[in-house]
């Protein structure tokens, strides 16, 4: 049987979500998939892939614009293949403690794309994150890197297992 091809596409402003996408891609590769990791804005089409994982960071309760646009541009093709969505946001441990549901716009995308599942991962704002908001938060002790590689890997393994079970 041919190796299944999986696209992991992400919308990221300062790199935190890109890091999550890379972790998902590396885990899927370790599980035997041919996984490509691309910025969502560079995704022309998804025809070459058997499955897609699409993620974006959250800003003011909205998914990163390039993740939204990628979903819109490829709505038909995505609807015809297995799709998983993720968000990267909370700069605290809330995503570790309980399931953080998708924001309204992402919930709509889930329906539109018939996505199998959505997960929210903790995000990251550190001293190296550009912008005055980040600087302000870090200065007031509210930053941190809340991405948890083990949780990200566990979710990617779960995707791998579902893909292995589907025809």
Ligand X SMILES: Cc1cc2nc3c(=O)[nH]c(=O)nc-3n(C[C@H](O)[C@H](O)[C@H](O)COP(=O)(O)O)c2cc1C
Residues 6 or more apart from 114 whose CB is under 8 A from it? 79, 83
Radius of gyration of the chain (CA): 15
The distance of closest approach from Cβ of residue 142 to ligand X in the complex, given in angstroms and rounded to an integer, is 10
- Residue 74 within binding range of ligand X, rule CB under 6 A: no
- Helix pair angle (16-30, 149-165), 10° resolution: 50
Selected from 8, 16, 35, 119, the binder of ligand X by CB under 6 A is 16
Q: Is residue 68 within 8 Å of residue 109, measured between CB atoms?
A: yes
Q: Rounded to an integer, what distance in angstroms lies between the CA atom of residue 38 and that of residue 91?
A: 24
- Residue 105 within binding range of ligand X, rule CB under 6 A: no
SS3 letters across 56-92: EEEECCEECHHHHHHHHHCHHHHHCCCEEEEEECCCC
Selected from 88, 109, 119, 152, the binder of ligand X by CB under 6 A is 88
The distance of closest approach from Cβ of residue 92 to ligand X in the complex, given in angstroms and rounded to an integer, is 9
The residue count for the chain: 167
- Residue 27 within binding range of ligand X, rule CB under 6 A: no
- Residue 17 within binding range of ligand X, rule CB under 6 A: yes
- Residue 134 within binding range of ligand X, rule CB under 6 A: yes
The distance of closest approach from Cβ of residue 30 to ligand X in the complex, given in angstroms and rounded to an integer, is 23
- Residue 89 within binding range of ligand X, rule CB under 6 A: yes
**Range in contact with ligand X (rule: CB under 6 A) among 22-30, 66-74, 120-128, 156-164:** 120-128
Q: Which residues bind ligand X (CB under 6 A)?
A: 12-17, 57-61, 88-91, 123-125, 131, 133-134
């Amino acid at each position: 049987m041919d190796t299944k091809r999986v696209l992991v596409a992400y919308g990221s402003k300062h790199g935190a979500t890109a890091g999550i996408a890379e972790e998902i891609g590396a885990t899927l590769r370790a599980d035997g998939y041919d996984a490509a990791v691309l910025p969502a804005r560079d995704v022309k089409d998804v025809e070459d892939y058997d499955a897609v994982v699409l993620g974006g960071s959250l800003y003011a309760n909205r998914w990163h614009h390039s993740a939204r646009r990628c979903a819109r541009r490829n709505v038909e093709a995505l609807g015809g293949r297995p799709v998983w969505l993720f968000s990267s946001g909370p700069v605290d441990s809330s995503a570790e403690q309980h399931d953080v549901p998708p924001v309204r716009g992402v919930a709509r995308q889930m329906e539109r794309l018939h996505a199998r599942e959505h997960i929210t991962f903790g995000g990251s704002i550190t001293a190296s994150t550009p912008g005055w908001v980040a600087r302000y938060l870090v200065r007031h002790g509210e930053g941190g890197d809340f991405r948890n590689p083990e949780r990200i890997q566990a979710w990617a393994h779960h995707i791998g297992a579902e893909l292995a079970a589907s025809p």
